[in-house]
Structures are given as structure tokens and as C-alpha cells.
Amino acid sequence: MRVPLALHGLMLCVCLVPLLSAQDAVKVDPKHYTVVSENAQVRILKVHYGPHEKSVMHSHPATVAVFLTDAKGVFNLPDGKSQPFDIKAGQAQYTAAETHLPENTSDAGMDAIVVELKGKAAKPANAEKK
């Protein structure tokens, strides 16, 4: 029996919805993400996960994260892969734009400040004007 092309297209769309619908962390997971401040260049988020809490799939632009507590967990990625992390309080990291589902795998809460970068990348500090 032949299945109409439209039905195949519909099935493809249904399968892609979870990947394409990854959204702003604050909108899809306000339990864990709170906006502290925002302007044209950055958006600053306060992040808190309780022990063994997990988020939903969401996206961030390029970010800088500063961890306020020790943090151990895993970033689950849309392609099914995962990236474990084990970070100490006070450490900072840069991450390019990505979509992920974070999970705190430790018995303690996890807190961080995330600075989402907006707009175009800045020019290097040593760039000369001509």
C-alpha cells in the first residue's frame, strides 16, 4: 500500500519538532533560570538546580558561566550524546551557542551565573584602526 507523500512529510515534521522547538531557557524552564539583568549586549541569568534535578531541552547563544557552587552533572544533547561535567565553585567557562538538557547528578544544589552574549563578536583588543 502506498503512503501519500504528505503523510511522510507530516511524520518527518513530528519527529523534528523536539529538535526545532528547543527554546529560550527562561521561557521553557523558569524553575531553574531567572533573568537578573538584560541590555543590548548581554542577558544575565541566575541558575539554580536542586539535587538530581533536570531541565528540559533548551538553547542558549554563546555564554560565559561562573559557577557559584561545585557542580557535577551532564549535558544531554539533541543528537542523543551527552557531555558530563565536574566543575568547582569559582570556575568560569565559555560555551558557544548550543542546545542541551542539563542534569544535576550530585546530592547538592548547583548555582551559577550565566551571561548570554548578544550580537556580533567583539573585535580583538589589539585591532588597529585604519
Q: Where are the domains of the chain?
A: 23-117
Per-residue pLDDT for 79 more than 90?
yes
Q: What is the average pLDDT across 23-49?
A: 97
Domain 23-117 in CATH 3.30.365.10? The answer is: no
- pTM reported for the whole predicted model: 0.75
Cα 75 to Cα 100: distance, rounded to the nearest angstrom: 6
Per-residue pLDDT for 74 more than 50?
yes
What is the β-pairing status of strands 23-24 and 58-60?
Answer: parallel
Which of 8-22, 44-58, 92-106, 111-125 has the lowest average pLDDT? Answer: 8-22
Quickly list H helices, 29-129: none
pLDDT digits (tens, 9 = 90+) for 60-72: 999 999 999 999 9
